[in-house]
Chain A
């Protein structure tokens, strides 16, 4: 009897150990990914989530002029921003800039990707050269362009003089400044977007293109009827990425024009930064930022709708 009790207890204990071992195994298995994700999640929390929440909170408070003067003001910052002519001017400049810049970047990125996808001789060297701008930091590339397009000492004006074209003012006059910023951003943006197109092009099965060729399709027909439709997903990705990057463009404006001349390059991100960080209007700046985020979300939503794929 006693032996039977011990036997039962022993088997109970061993099955307990088995269950526990299994449980620990499962637990360890389940915990591992979370533990591995923890550093990234912590960084995300500190540098993304916390600032976002803080921005939302700040937009409902008065200007943080002194530590004691912080006061809840409801939507007052939003009404102030929305009735501010400079905000609307800035928004208009941002839209004009994007309407010029995004189509140029996307179109040229596609063209370059198609060229680089060919099997012409020396294409790998050309591919490497085209990739160089991606490796250069935005600050460095902006500074280089600022120097090259300097009115007095810029190499571009030197080259123009060689062919008899008078010196151009580039960043100095409102008629040219925004276009000059488009050049600066396109230099980095085109190769970056091109990579995605190139990857998309290389995913297209050669057999499909060859079949079309056998069926008598010309190169143009293949491109428009097969390649482009198969790139629709890549297009959606590139368009969304490019829109986000350009709507929040900051470095070239901060380093070159500071929003001028005559507010012609006063993009909304720079306006937001200047209000908050330079002039201490954190409430107004946060409210402006939230409006911008909402606008970006709407634009992206529309883009997703327009480029929705059925599969």
Chain B
């Protein structure tokens, strides 16, 4: 089963809506609640990253009998140093974004903790591609 959601850069009022749709689908499919919880945390963080840093993006969801594979691609500034971005507490978010309680440098580490596999590739001034895989078994 494949689903595609658009993510609007800068629009915080919609942040989380794609993750919420995926959550509903996983619930309907009776996926183990623990795996739904983990997936929801990682997808929300990925979605917020696009909203906070990129111009626009997509969340492509592929649900199989044994796993969910989600690719989040964005058009944006990219990440120059992924190892640095993966460090807890490191963030390039603007002061306005931080005031809202985002940009604490916990997003990518949260994704890593809540996914079975995580692959991230990025090109500066082009965009970032993040793949999250969670197994149902």
Q: Are A and B a genuine interacting pair, yes or no?
A: no
A residues whose Cβ falls under 8 Å from a Cβ of B: none
B residues whose Cβ falls under 8 Å from a Cβ of A: none
